[in-house]
């Protein structure tokens, strides 16, 4: 655990007692603070009380009178579409509001670092899509290179639940816009921006607010090195803002759409080959086409970002190339769950928005596409441009019929539930086809998470193949 320092003897409010909330309470207590906890869920409060934490209804008008700081779980709105009532009370009372990410950066360094030969580093990854795969891949590459590394944040363990990093250790953090938007301290050594597309617009009051939340990691974080995906205008803008000129190698530009040139530091993928260029010269090349855990151009972008991040720490290209081939990928992200009779079955349940689903559709030929769910803002039109390989769509979700109507030019069957969609796709698939779950929608109309949706797909595929 990372004990939270600087609040010895002070009452610190903890709002939200899920994974990160309980870890925060434990870390505060370890650092000498007095956590005062609250969650609307009685079961969550009971779990906290079972660990000896005091619970108090922080929504009462006088509940924050003795609270020095309020620490908020990432799922709780702090500004848009409107602040949570407890957070609104904190604003009125002048109580500072923070989250576990801010506390982590505030408390990470310890006196033991003075005796380290190499101080620990933090690599923080944000962006719209590919954050989890990029973060996990960075972690994998570091371990393969013999480096001490931990994975935390929006993936793996809560940031305050990890062990204090040792001499030369690296902490890899996946950070969502919810986390970067509120954290009062953001000081990564290396910051990574994968890409940008519309998402969480209600939480950030539009596209500009969403980008501003991502940008904080760089503009306020002041990383020593920034790895920036420049395939969208937002990434190009961010790289330009951080760079002092074309040769400034503190900014590493990354692309999976085009060759990059210039006197600076670039890593890009074209036609399945990753290339690293520095000072106008190519210094490394890796063939990604046979890397099973990283299929498709979107994963090649993730590979470029991860490659650049660990190159900053001195990992050699040959070590990286070898480690790419041992990366198994992540569950629910272009995950090959079965292969039978020449048909591949791929679980990309994490493709919860249009952009990530479109990238999945471009990664495979001859697709039988299971899609649908709780549709997000912005419509489905961008999917249609990427759906040239789709043989047929099998649409799930409570609004499956309305979703199917929007798939203009694609043969679509309204299946409503996963059981029907999988059964029909398996029955109709032929050798060379890929049955792909890439919903392009949230899961909450039928499942409590994208993980549960992916697990249901996987279980039904395996059951259908066993019966066949």
pLDDT in tens, 182-214: 999 999 999 999 999 888 888 999 999 999 999
Is 109-325 assigned to CATH 3.90.1150.180? no
Q: Please provide residue 67's backbone torsions phi and psi, each rounded to the nearest 5 degrees.
A: -95, 125
For residue 378, pLDDT over 80 is answered with no
User: In the chain, what is the straight-line distance between the N-terminal and C-terminal CA atoms, in Å?
Assistant: 49
pLDDT-derived band at 131 (thresholds 50, 70, 90) equals: very high
Question: C-alpha angle with apex 350: 237 to 422, nearest 5 degrees?
Answer: 145
Mean predicted confidence (pLDDT) in 98-103: 97
Higher pLDDT, 111 or 393: 393
- CATH superfamily of domain region 335-467: Mur ligase, C-terminal domain (3.90.190.20)
Give the torsion through C-alpha atoms of 36, 41, 46, 52, to 10 deg. Answer: -20
Q: Which residues are annotated as a binding site for ATP?
A: 127-133
Average pLDDT over residues 400-421: 96
pLDDT digits (tens, 9 = 90+) for 284-301: 999 999 898 898 888 999
SS (H, E, C) 335-349: EEEEEECCEEEEECC
Is the pLDDT score of 356 beyond 90?
no
Instruction: Count Cα neighbours of 389 within 13 Å in the Cβ-side half-sphere.
Output: 18
Give the model confidence (pLDDT) of 33-55 as tens digits. 999 999 999 999 999 999 999 99
Q: What is the pTM of this model?
A: 0.86
- The Cα–Cα gap between 404 and 410 comes to 9
299 near 362, Cβ under 8 Å? no
Helix (H) or strand (E) holding 11: strand 11-15
Instruction: Look at domain 11-98 and name its CATH class.
Output: alpha beta
Are 235 and 196 in contact by the 8 Å Cβ rule? The answer is yes
Predicted confidence at residue 156, as pLDDT, reads 76
Average pLDDT over every residue of 312-341: 93
pLDDT band at 468, cuts 50/70/90? Answer: low
Q: Which tens digits make up the pLDDT trace of 170-187?
A: 999 999 999 999 999 999
Give me the pLDDT at residue 23, please: 94
Domain boundaries, the chain: 11-98, 109-325, 335-467
273-278 and 281-287 strand pairing: antiparallel
Fold agreement (11-98, 109-325): no
pLDDT of residue 102: 97
Q: Answer whether 274's CB lies under 8 Å from 266's CB.
A: no
Token output for 299: 């994963």
Residue 110 scores a pLDDT above 90: no
**Dist CA 11 CA 305 (whole Å):** 41
d(CA 77, CA 103): 18
Binding-site residues, please?
A: 127-133
């Amino acid at each position: 655990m990372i004990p939270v320092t600087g609040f010895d003897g002070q009452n610190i409010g903890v709002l939200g007692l899920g994974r990160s909330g309980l870890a925060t309470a434990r870390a505060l207590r370890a650092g000498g603070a007095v956590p005062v906890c609250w969650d609307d869920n009685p079961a969550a409060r009971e779990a906290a009380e079972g660990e000896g934490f005091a619970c108090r209804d922080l929504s009462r008008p006088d509940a924050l009178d003795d609270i020095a700081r309020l620490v908020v779980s990432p799922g709780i709105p702090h500004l848009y579409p409107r602040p949570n009532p407890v957070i609104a009370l904190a604003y009125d009372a002048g109580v500072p509001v923070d989250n576990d990410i801010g506390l982590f950066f505030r408390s990470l360094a310890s006196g033991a670092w003075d005796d380290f030969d190499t101080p620990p580093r933090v690599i923080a990854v944000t962006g719209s899509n590919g954050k989890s795969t990029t973060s996990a891949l960075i972690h994998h590459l570091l371990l393969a290179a013999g480096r001490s590394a931990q994975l935390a944040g929006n993936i793996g363990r809560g940031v305050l639940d990890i062990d204090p990093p040792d001499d030369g250790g690296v902490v890899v953090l996946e950070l969502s816009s919810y986390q970067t938007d509120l954290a009062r301290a953001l000081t990564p050594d290396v910051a990574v921006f994968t890409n940008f597309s519309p998402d969480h617009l209600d939480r950030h009051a539009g596209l500009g607010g969403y980008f501003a939340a991502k940008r904080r990691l760089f503009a306020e974080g002041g990383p020593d090195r920034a790895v920036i995906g420049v395939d969208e205008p937002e990434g190009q803008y961010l790289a330009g803002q951080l760079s002092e000129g074309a040769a400034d190698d503190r900014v590493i530009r990354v692309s999976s759409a085009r060759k990059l040139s210039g006197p600076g530091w670039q890593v890009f993928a074209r036609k399945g080959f990753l290339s690293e260029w520095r000072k106008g010269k190519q210094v490394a090349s890796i063939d990604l086409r046979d890397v099973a855990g990283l299929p498709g151009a979107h994963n090649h972008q993730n590979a470029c970002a991860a490659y650049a991040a660990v190159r900053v720490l001195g990992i050699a290209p040959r070590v990286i190339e070898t480690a790419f081939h041992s990366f198994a990928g992540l569950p629910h992200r272009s995950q090959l769950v079965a292969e039978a009779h020449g048909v591949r079955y791929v679980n990309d349940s994490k493709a919860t928005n249009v952009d990530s689903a479109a990238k999945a559709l471009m990664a495979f030929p001859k697709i039988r596409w299971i899609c649908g769910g709780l549709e997000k803002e912005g419509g489905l039109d961008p999917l249609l441009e990427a759906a040239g390989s789709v043989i047929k769509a099998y649409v799930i979700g409570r609004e499956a019929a309305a979703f199917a109507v929007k798939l203009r030019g694609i043969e679509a069957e309204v299946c409503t539930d996963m059981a029907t969609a999988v059964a029909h796709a398996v029955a109709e698939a032929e050798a060379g086809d890929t049955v792909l779950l890439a919903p392009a929608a949230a899961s909450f109309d039928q499942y409590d998470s994208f993980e549960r949706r992916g697990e249901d797909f996987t279980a039904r595929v395996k059951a259908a193949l066993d019966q066949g």
